[in-house]
Amino acid sequence: MTRPARLAVTAGEPAGIGPDLCLTLADRERETELVVVADADLMRERARVLELDVRIEPWEPDQPIPTAAGVLPVWSVASVATTRAGQLDPENAGYVLRTLEAAVEACQLNIVDGMVTAPVHKGVINEAGIRFSGHTEFLQEKTGASGVVMMLATEGLRVALATTHLPLRDVPDAITSSRLSRVLHILNDDLRKHFGIAQPRILVAGLNPHAGEGGHLGREEMDVIEPLLERLNSEGMNLIGPLPADTLFTPYNLEEADAVLAMYHDQGLPVLKHKGFGRAVNISLGLPIIRTSVDHGTALDLAATGQADAESLHEAIQTAAHMVRQRERARQERA
């Protein structure tokens, strides 16, 4: 592309570390054009508390985005309640969602090339009477995507999820052939489209211990997962499994893998976060827009202390910019 990637960065829960992380974006001159979507007054106050010499520059979509060190462009969305670092207030739940809506609309109108999200607090949004199970589901609804897959990535490992925020007792019923087929198609297609992997090699975990032990520890592998993988492999995918999750994540198995599909949240993400917590990136696959996020929560106890680690946010920005460039490269090759 002839210009730098342009990204909207939502500052997330105002009482958490999201505003602190976003302020670190002004530390250095930037190649990627970044605009923070947040309350400008909130960002000024947090910079004052943290004693940061950052100039908050109000930004509108028809303006160029400054990239100089010390300047942070902010597309201001007004909050409702006065924000106190570390103290959640349901009054600001609507504000948090409005920042997300603004970033989504900017992506849809091609004002920006993608969006990066700082952490939100699901609990306080629900306390405000707004049903909210996470960024992924919210963005799927707002973009009208038919299916979305959550994938986290760190150096040497990508882990996608067949199910996300479900109670563990509901997971087996959710492992259906149709769901797995949809998830694997999205994962395979987006690894090719956004990461330039011509023939992704995907390891698929079993649901049960020892991948069901031939049916003695559960039949989901035999009845659902194995037949589906055989069919998709016959159609041209490169899927290996179902593999026992306790040995899948060994270096030998991961050596030539492009991604792992875990059956549920706490099957795959503890391994990923053990390997790269604070340096990992959450990527939403299957959306018509590019979206990445940090790998951690709001860390209310660290808000406005100057101790928040911004590495995951910077990794998320780098990943989103890479995805933008890869998408543009693919478009040029098709032209």
User: Would you list which residues are annotated within the binding site for a divalent metal cation?
Assistant: 165, 210, 265
| Phi and psi, residue 243, nearest 5° | -110, 145
Give Cα separations from 14 to 42, 82, 334 (angstroms).
8, 10, 42
Written as one letter, the residue type at 299 is A
C-alpha count within 13 angstroms, C-beta hemisphere, residue 316? 34
Cis peptide before 14 (omega within 30 of 0): no
| Beta carbons of 134 and 235 less than 8 angstroms apart | no
Structure tokens at 130: 């707004």
Residue ranges at the known binding site for substrate: 135-136, 273, 282, 291
| Bridge partner list, 109 | none
Q: 270: Cβ–Cβ under 8 A, 6 or more apart, which residues?
A: none
Q: Which residues are annotated as a binding site?
A: 135-136, 165, 210, 265, 273, 282, 291
Phi, psi of 215 (to 5 degrees): 95, -10
